[in-house]
Structure 1
Amino acid sequence: MKTKVLLNNRIVDLKSANVNILDRGYQFGDGVYEVVRFYDHAYFELEAHLIRLKESCEKINIPFKMHLKKLESDLVYLMNTCDYSTGYVYIQITRGVMDRNHIYRDQLDLKPQLVAYTVKEEKRPLKLMEQGITVHVTDDIRWLLCDIKSLNLLGSVLAKNKAHEKGAKEAVLHRDGIITEGSSTNVFIVKDGTLYTHPANNLILNGITRRVIIDIAKKEGIPIKETAFTIDEFLNADEAFTSSTTAEIMPIVSVLLDEKTYALGTGKRGVITQKIQDAYSDLIAKIPQNQSTL
């Protein structure tokens, strides 16, 4: 399997994609990133991801001087260098290279650095999307600017690994009893036919898949409320699921909390969850007709 890397404005081999150790992404986690799925050599929601990438840069004062259309073209070219048709691209922008110093504002010649590469994903996780997953509920110990898709993922990494140690697929995070999101996903519940998810504020990342799901719910006539819910409301939901670019829509069928395991709803994928999954699959099937218009 060959892997090419987009390094600023050049396509290079992986072994040639050297990054300076004084890059602020390496030294401080001073940067942002995006992950974009592609199916059968076609990106899904590329435009939305690139717009959010630009917004994340602006929120932490990284100058974004690239033309989105040019970046899109480079990423399509990068994808087409793959010897596989289905996977995802990881894109990262850091503030740039300079001598290690917390203060960057005096560095007028600081140049942001872009790196992107593709990863193979052979199949959609359809079996798991039917069977569902177990999640572990734990404290949200991350910083308070979760709406920025930054490189600072240590809180999420620790939570995900703790969940993994307990045999769970994902960590569901809470602040003082209020569910926010997963360690690398957004979280939805269904109660009495209504879909609930945490509002898109600074406490969560407004996921691209999250936005697609909200649009699906509106089109399918499923009531949707962007309202915070508690741990108890989560445990007593009729259905629940996580959403993300790579894992798509995963039903939650059981929950680990305080060393106890709880079945969620019937312990199986719910009707509304499956309806949303089916509509999401329909969108994927139509990707060639819905490519970006940047």
Structure 2
Amino acid sequence: MTWFVNYRLEESVSVADRGLAYGDGVFETIRAFPQYFLQIDDHLSRLYRGLYKLGMPFSSDQKKVLSDFLDKNVQSLIRNESVVKIIVTRGVGGRGYLAPEHCIHSIIIGILPAPAYQDHRTKGVSLSISPVPISSNRFLSGIKHLNRLENVMAKQFLKAADFEAIMLNDRQELVECIQSNLFWVVKGIFYTPSLQLSGVQGTYRKGIIENQESYTVQIGHYSLPDLMAADEVFITNSLMGVVPVIHIAGTSFPIGIHTRKLQITNFNAS
């Protein structure tokens, strides 16, 4: 693994950094290849949107510096499929929860080995239902902020036989999985939960919703019985792509033709 802190080779940050103290920041995990970053524009857009939402936006100059560093410095170090992780915090400062008026961001960039998901994409995976509810907060919904304790706790309850767990909100509505977005198909129509109040608006989810010429995608408030009546189910994130679901809490699902068709779609390999 290779790490940069504020664009210098480094593996440590200040113990007073607000990202450590309060989870005051955002992050992205990007699938990277020797010649390109997958969906880089969508990842950076979500990163900047998250920073703006938290009241610590990047300036145009800061955006250019980050983009240039990824293109000129990070890309040259990638020899095989990898994961590039970007963490941006508010840095050091402020008093308690009160943020400094003018923050100096901490910018952390890592190059990590890519996880192997080929078997999962080919054979499908099993899901359980997480006992950990996901909270609703319209101020934080959609972005990949650093406060991920719900996901950490849900992962601890995950059994070895299950690849992922479905997370519900306090109204027992479907939201997402621990580390992926959830889709299902009924009579050729795609369905996915609304993320207006909870969850992460995944870049791969965005690609599916915005780049469908053959399918209708319905976004709404759904419950577990809606999902269990599906013809086929799949999960997505930017690292695994499209992964079929073959079991949910003991109920079996086929790997459908729509899921297989979607697996060969290429979203913004720029």
Alignment TM-score > 0.5, same fold: yes
- Code of the residue aligned with 1:169 in structure 2: it is F
The 5-angstrom pairing of residues 67-78 of structure 1 reads 67-78=62-73
1:55 corresponds in structure 2 to 49
Give 5+ residue unaligned stretches, structure 2.
none
Match for residue 34 of structure 2?
Answer: 40
Residue matched to 1:187: 182
Identity %: 23
Question: 1:11 touches 1:78 (CA, 8 Å); kept in 2?
Answer: no
Match 2:133 to one of 131, 136, 140: 140
Query: Structure 2 matches for 1:18-33, cutoff 5 A?
Result: 18-33=12-27
2:225 alignment counterpart: 232
Runs of 4+ with >6 A deviation: none
Shift of 1:83: 5.4
**Worse-superposed segment, 113-122 or 229-238:** 113-122
Cα deviation, residue 225, structure 1: 1.0
Shift of 1:71: 1.2
Matched with 2:167 is 173
| Residue 273 in structure 1 maps to residue 266 in structure 2 | no
**Secondary structure of the corresponding residue to residue 187 of structure 1:** strand
Q: Indicate if the aligned counterparts of 1:146 and 1:203 stay in contact, CA closer than 8 A.
A: yes
The C-alpha deviation readout for 1:34-56, integer Å capped at 9, x for no partner, is 11111233101111111110110
1:11 to 8, 11, 20: 8
Count of equivalent residues? 265
* Displacement of 1:120: 1.6
1:91 pairs, out of 86, 92, 100, with: 86
Structure 2 CA distance for partners of 1:146 and 1:161, relative to 1, 3 Å:
farther
Q: How far, CA to CA, are the matches of 1:109 and 1:126 in structure 2? A: 45
Which residue identity lines up with residue 272 of structure 1 in the other structure? H
> Is 81-90 or 269-278 further displaced after alignment?
81-90
Once the two structures are overlaid, the 10-residue window that deviates more, 154-163 or 237-246, is 154-163
Could you tell me which runs of 5 or more consecutive residues in structure 1 were left unpaired when the two chains were aligned. none
The alignment's C-alpha RMSD in Å is 2.0
Q: Deviations over 1:110-169 (max 9, x none)?
A: 31111011112275x222112110111124233523312100011011112312x25211
Change in Cα spacing, 1:110 to 1:83, as seen in structure 2 (3 Å) is: closer
